[in-house]
């Protein structure tokens, strides 16, 4: 069953704020607000916004990794990657000739997300 977006006039934000707040928190879906019959704003819970932001950041990192994979010929086995990861986690970090990009670890973990 397709998800039908919730659309309300922007005046409801002033007149029925509690209803809109309850909707976005219960459904974890945005409410689209219109002004003069045209889309004007989107209201969503902070948790939904952070989840969307997190997913966007992950998607960007995956695209970055895909690009890097096409431009680098060196490949690592699962065992090599896991061994290196264990060293980093245990504090015995070693640097290779090709260190990860500076932005590789900038995706923050959000409160309440199980990653």
d(CA 28, CA 43): 11
d(CA 26, CA 20): 10
- My answer on whether 18 and 52 are in the same domain is no
Residue 75 lies in a domain: yes
d(CA 99, CA 115): 23
How much is the mean pLDDT over the chain? 84
Q: What is the pTM of this model?
A: 0.58
Residue 99 lies in a domain: no
Domain that holds residue 63: 47-90
Residue 113 lies in a domain: no
Q: Scan for tokens 């970055």, then name that residue.
A: 64
pLDDT in tens, 12-55: 999 999 999 999 999 999 999 999 999 999 999 999 999 999 99
Helix (H) or strand (E) holding 24: helix 17-27
- My answer on whether 11 and 28 are in the same domain is yes
- My answer on whether 54 and 82 are in the same domain is yes
Number of domains forming the structure of the chain: 2
């Amino acid at each position: 069953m397709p998800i039908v977006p919730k659309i309300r006039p922007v005046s409801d934000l002033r007149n029925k704020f509690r209803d809109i707040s309850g909707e976005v928190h219960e459904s974890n879906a945005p409410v689209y607000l219109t002004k003069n019959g045209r889309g004007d704003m989107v209201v969503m819970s902070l948790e939904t916004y952070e989840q969307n932001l997190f997913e966007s950041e992950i998607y960007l990192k995956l695209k970055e990794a895909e690009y890097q994979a096409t431009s680098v010929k060196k490949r690592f086995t699962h065992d090599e990657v896991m061994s290196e990861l264990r060293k980093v986690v245990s504090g015995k970090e070693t640097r290779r000739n090709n260190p990860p990009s500076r932005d590789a670890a900038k995706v923050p973990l959000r409160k309440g997300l199980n990653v």
